[in-house]
Amino acid sequence: MRIKPEQLPRTLSSNNLPLYWLSGDEPLLMIEAADLIRSQYREKGYTEREILNVDKSFDWGQFLQLTGNLSLFAEKKIIELRLSSAKWEDAGKKAILHYLSELNPDYLILLSGPKLDAATLKTKWFTEIENHGAFMQIWPINRDDLTPWLEQRLLREGIQADREAVHLLADKVEGNLLAAMQEIEKLKLLASDASGNPIRLNAKTVMQLVADSSRYNVYQLVDAALLGDVSRAQKMLAGLKNEGLFPLIILSAICRELRALLPMLEKKRQGQGVNAIIQSARVWYNRKQPVAAALARLDTDSVWKFLDHSRLIDQSIKGMSTANPWDELSLLLLQFSGAKPGTAQHQVV
């Protein structure tokens, strides 16, 4: 079965499945989901735990030997397969399917690894695995959901924060939930008093105590530009520059998105509705809002201009132009995000 993260507690309490598969790129949420599964199965008597780190050199015979050992007095065991890659070799597929054909009720198989692509989710071998257990995709928390997520976590720790404080905290930890939890723990320690009363948090305290731990990737940057969030796109670009990311990686991601928009914008020009266009383009559901915002704001002429500008940025990155590639990327993102001339200051990153 395929479940959502919010369905995990109910699934654990109402089923005794032999296999769980966690897929995603958000470390904190992956860790918490795995911890919940382990906790529930320990209560069911699965007291032993075996961890197998699966990479290209992993011997799947080791897994088959481990799961093939039957004993009348065997302890119930959780066998964790930590996948380094979303791509499976044939030996791995065959080993898992072989195990599922001869299930051992004393074992729980817990798979965890990177996000799977859409093509993998449609394969026959994946469907067979999914039919025997629960598969859960864990998506990163987007900007809109981060503030309520932080509010909930703060309240859980006995911290009452005003709106400005939560927004400031979100700015400082966006894209890095592990850092968010570390900062909440630090706030709990440093902002508490001896009276035992609930901690009240304001923006000044956050500014004084919380480090800027925000972490971005090029996909978040592209989505910010698609949404038309000018200031956030510029902040992300500055963050990626400070992390030492090669600018050609950023430019490639932007160009790939621009080229993907062209056929969709052409369909819009022909009179098709945005929802129908997005559906036919098979846009992932968590990206529908950014793409829809871009389709409503842009046209094919502007996208071709952006691509032409991208060609000049490519030349500057490769030393064929005296232009500063980071300045030009900043300008391109301003235009892509929909900033009007004279309404947004060009931020040099």
**pLDDT tens profile 159-171:** 888 888 888 888 8
Integer Cα distance of 344 and 73 in angstroms:
71
Summarize the confidence of residues 306-314 as an average pLDDT. Answer: 93
Pick the more confident residue, 215 or 127. 127
Residue 103 has a pLDDT of 84
Query: CATH 1.20.272.10 spans which residues of the chain?
Result: 218-336
Alpha-carbon separation of residue 191 from 137, 151, 168, 198, 328 (angstroms): 36, 16, 16, 10, 43
**DSSP letter string over 20-86?**
EEEEES-HHHHHHHHHHHHHHHHHTT--EEEEEEE-TT--HHHHHHHHH---TTPPPEEEEEEES-S
Nearest one of 246, 218, 222, 234 to 171, comparing CA atoms: 234
Pick the more confident residue, 328 or 161. 328
* Tens-digit pLDDT profile for residues 171-187: 888 878 888 888 888 87
Q: What's domain 2-138's superfamily in CATH?
A: P-loop containing nucleotide triphosphate hydrolases (3.40.50.300)
Integer Cα distance of 137 and 22 in angstroms:
6
Integer Cα distance of 199 and 192 in angstroms:
6
Enclosing H/E stretch for 159:
strand 159-161
Summarize the confidence of residues 269-274 as an average pLDDT. Answer: 91
Q: Which two tokens stand for residue 101?
A: 């054909």
Confidence grade of residue 305 (pLDDT, cut at 50, 70, 90): very high
Residue 291 has a pLDDT of 92
Nearest one of 180, 176, 242, 244 to 206, comparing CA atoms: 180
pLDDT of 49 above 60: yes
Residue 218 has a pLDDT of 87
Query: CATH 1.10.8.60 spans which residues of the chain?
Result: 143-209
Confidence grade of residue 70 (pLDDT, cut at 50, 70, 90): low
Residue 198 has a pLDDT of 63
Integer Cα distance of 186 and 224 in angstroms:
29
Integer Cα distance of 256 and 181 in angstroms:
34
Residue 343 has a pLDDT of 46
Nearest one of 186, 242, 246, 255 to 215, comparing CA atoms: 242
Integer Cα distance of 30 and 34 in angstroms:
6
Confidence grade of residue 25 (pLDDT, cut at 50, 70, 90): confident
Residues in the chain, how many?
A: 349
Fold of 143-209: Helicase, Ruva Protein; domain 3 (1.10.8)
Pick the more confident residue, 277 or 193. 277
Residue 145 has a pLDDT of 86
Coil, helix or strand at residue 197: coil
Summarize the confidence of residues 92-121 as an average pLDDT. Answer: 89
Summarize the confidence of residues 208-223 as an average pLDDT. Answer: 78
Query: CATH 3.40.50.300 spans which residues of the chain?
Result: 2-138
Residue 136 has a pLDDT of 94
CATH code of 218-336, in short, is 1.20.272.10
Are β-strands 134-138 and 107-113 bridged in parallel, bridged antiparallel, or unpaired?
A: unpaired
Percent of the chain whose predicted confidence (pLDDT) is above 90: 37
Percent of the chain whose predicted confidence (pLDDT) is above 70: 92
Mean pLDDT of the chain: 86
Pick the more confident residue, 157 or 113. 113
Residue 69 has a pLDDT of 65
Q: Looking at the whole model, is its pTM more than 0.85?
A: no
* Tens-digit pLDDT profile for residues 27-39: 889 999 999 999 9
Pick the more confident residue, 212 or 241. 241
